[in-house]
């Protein structure tokens, strides 16, 4: 029985009978074995307030405190009906993709879809080791393969060993054909949402050009202006400001509500789309963000607590216990992993 909904609705979760689930985020949805009674949970920008009768118990959440599925026992992305614990903090992990083939060749890449190099694969795997003890309930990536490869490879190192699954919603047939019919498999899966809004800045007529040759042709100052100014785009391309408008809007509408509802999220994306999000998280000025540099394959950790983002830097290594003692929640998560896996 749904009791109430707060603020603007951005998604719907339906629990259909015995573990059957339908999950939607904007235009993304997953259909999982509809049967029995139906329960709907409305997701809002500021949180969730919902309850139901029966064996499922009650979930309540708000911007300041959220009740969530224990991330070790059962992830909140694919809702299961195991013991629930209260938490008022969640983790946000940002990872810039590993080195791509065009990074290696010093070409402007932008929205051209090129894969990782061997070094990029290794960077993604190392990033996974660094976050292997941090909870991940949902993954968001860009629509570009280098970001998706980075996310998938990183998750191969996570100690929880859940499987990231890309959600295909491009057609009704794609949704139907990618439906999961095993309750146990659902519990051991993490949904991956690919969104073009998280794509790299579109470099227009510079895409595919060698960076050094472009500087020689147009002048170093002009190319530097295109690359590092906030509001000046290259020919037929995007400025950082234009990239930020789409990336931050997507983050506010689709990712932040997940954090508010108690889910821990990983975003694998690109230098400029992540700089844009960090500008929002850290409340940077346009002058501060243009000097922000992000290394490939290095995760950045934030804690979302009481409607605030607390920057924690990059985890050093999975064996560094101090890294995961930033908060009680992360320390407890790691302790549960240790108890479960040993």
Q: Between the CA of residue 305 and those of 8, 50, 68, 259, what are the distances in Å? A: 21, 21, 14, 9
Pairing of strands 189-194, 163-166: parallel
Q: Which two tokens stand for residue 239?
A: 């400025």
- What are the helix and strand counts (H, E) for the chain? 12, 15
Q: CA-CA distance, 217 to 211, in Å (whole number)?
A: 10
Q: What pLDDT was estimated at residue 190?
A: 97
Catalytic residue among 89, 97, 256, 270: 97
Percent of the chain with pLDDT over 70: 70
Position 342 scores a pLDDT of: 67
44-48, 203-207, 334-338: range with highest mean pLDDT: 203-207
Higher pLDDT, 308 or 332: 308
Structure tokens at 101: 């083939």
**Residue with the larger pLDDT of the pair 38 and 106:** 106
- Candidates 41, 77, 30; CA nearest to 180 is 30
Average pLDDT over residues 163-188: 93
Whether residue 281 contacts residue 302, with contact meaning beta carbons closer than 8 Å, is answered with: yes
Query: What span, in angstroms and rounded, lies between the C-alpha atoms of 37 and 282?
Result: 44
Q: What is the pLDDT of residue 34?
A: 39
| Mean pLDDT computed over 165-171 | 92
- The token pair at 169 is 């919603």
pLDDT at 184 over 90: yes
Say if residue 224's pLDDT is above 70: yes
Active site residue 123: no
What pLDDT does 211 receive? Answer: 93
- Region 155-167: what's the mean pLDDT? 95
Beta bridge partners of 89: 305
- The pLDDT score that the predictor gives to residue 145 is 98
Q: What are phi and psi of 334, to 5 degrees?
A: -65, -40
Least confident of 59-63, 74-78, 188-192, 319-323: 59-63
Q: Among residues of the chain, what percentage have pLDDT more than 90?
A: 58
pTM of the model: 0.72
Instruction: Tally the C-alpha atoms within 13 A of residue 89's C-alpha that lie toward its C-beta.
Output: 17
CA 101, CA 115: separation in Å to the nearest integer? Answer: 6
CA 264 to centroid of chain Cα atoms: 9
Residue that is written with structure tokens 């790299």 in the block: 200
Q: Quick check: is 200 catalytic?
A: yes
Query: What is the model's pLDDT at position 272?
Result: 96
Q: Which two tokens stand for residue 280?
A: 């929002």
Q: Are 84 and 67 in contact (CB under 8 A)?
A: yes
Give residue 317's pLDDT. Answer: 44
255: number of Cβ within 10 Å = 21
Residue 231 has pLDDT above 80, yes or no: yes
**pLDDT category of residue 242 using cuts at 50, 70 and 90:** very high
Which pLDDT belongs to residue 241? Answer: 97
CA 212/CA 231 separation, integer angstroms:
22
DSSP 96-130: E---BHHHHTTB--TT----B-HHHHHHHHHHHHH
Per-residue pLDDT, 322: 45
Dihedrals phi, psi of 31, to nearest 5 degrees: -110, 125
Identify the weakest region by mean pLDDT among 167-171, 234-238, 251-255, 256-260.
Answer: 167-171
How many other β-carbons are positioned within 10 Å of the β-carbon of residue 238? 21
Which residue among 89, 123, 200, 238 is the active-site one?
200
Instruction: Give the pLDDT confidence score for residue 297 in this predicted structure.
Output: 87
Mean pLDDT (the chain) is 77
**pLDDT tens digit sequence for 261-311:** 999 999 999 999 999 999 999 999 999 998 888 888 889 999 999 899 988
Work out the pLDDT band at 168, boundaries 50, 70, 90.
Answer: very high
Report strand pairing: 89-96 vs 265-269.
parallel
Res 87: pLDDT = 56
The tokens for 25 are 């985020």
44 pLDDT higher than 80: no
More confident residue, 273 or 217: 273
| pLDDT over 70 (residue 61) | no
């Amino acid at each position: 029985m749904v009791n109430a909904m707060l603020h603007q609705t951005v998604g719907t979760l339906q629990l259909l009978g015995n573990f059957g689930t339908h999950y939607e985020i904007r235009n993304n949805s997953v259909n999982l074995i509809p049967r029995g009674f139906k329960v709907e949970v409305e997701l809002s920008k500021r949180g969730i307030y919902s309850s139901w009768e029966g064996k499922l118990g009650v979930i309540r959440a708000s911007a300041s405190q959220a009740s969530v599925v224990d991330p070790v026992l059962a992830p909140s992305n694919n809702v299961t009906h195991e013991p629930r614990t209260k938490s008022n903090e969640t983790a946000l992990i940002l990872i810039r993709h590993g080195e791509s083939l065009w990074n290696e060749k010093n070409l402007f890449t932008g929205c051209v879809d090129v894969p990782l190099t061997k070094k990029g694969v290794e960077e993604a795997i190392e990033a996974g080791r660094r976050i292997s003890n941090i909870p991940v309930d949902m993954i968001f990536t860009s629509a570009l393969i280098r970001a998706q490869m980075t996310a998938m490879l990183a998750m191969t190192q996570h100690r929880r060993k859940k499987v990231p699954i890309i959600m295909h919603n491009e057609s009704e047939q794609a949704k139907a054909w990618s439906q999961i019919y095993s309750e146990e498999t659902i519990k051991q899966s993490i949904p991956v949402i690919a969104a073009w809004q998280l794509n790299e800045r579109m470099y227009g007529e510079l895409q595919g050009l060698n960076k050094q040759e472009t500087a020689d042709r147009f002048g170093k100052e002009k190319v530097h202006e295109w690359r590092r100014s906030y509001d000046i785009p290259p020919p037929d391309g995007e400025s950082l400001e234009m990239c930020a408008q789409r990336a931050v809007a997507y983050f506010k509408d689709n990712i932040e509500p997940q954090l508010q509802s108690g889910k821990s999220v990983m975003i694998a994306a690109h230098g400029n789309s992540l700089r844009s999000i960090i500008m929002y998280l850290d409340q940077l000025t346009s002058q501060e963000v243009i000097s922000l540099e992000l290394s490939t394959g290095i995760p950045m950790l934030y804690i979302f607590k009481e409607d605030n983002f607390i920057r924690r830097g990059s985890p050093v290594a999975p064996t560094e216990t101090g890294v995961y003692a930033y908060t009680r929640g992360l320390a407890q998560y790691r302790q549960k992993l240790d108890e479960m896996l040993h």
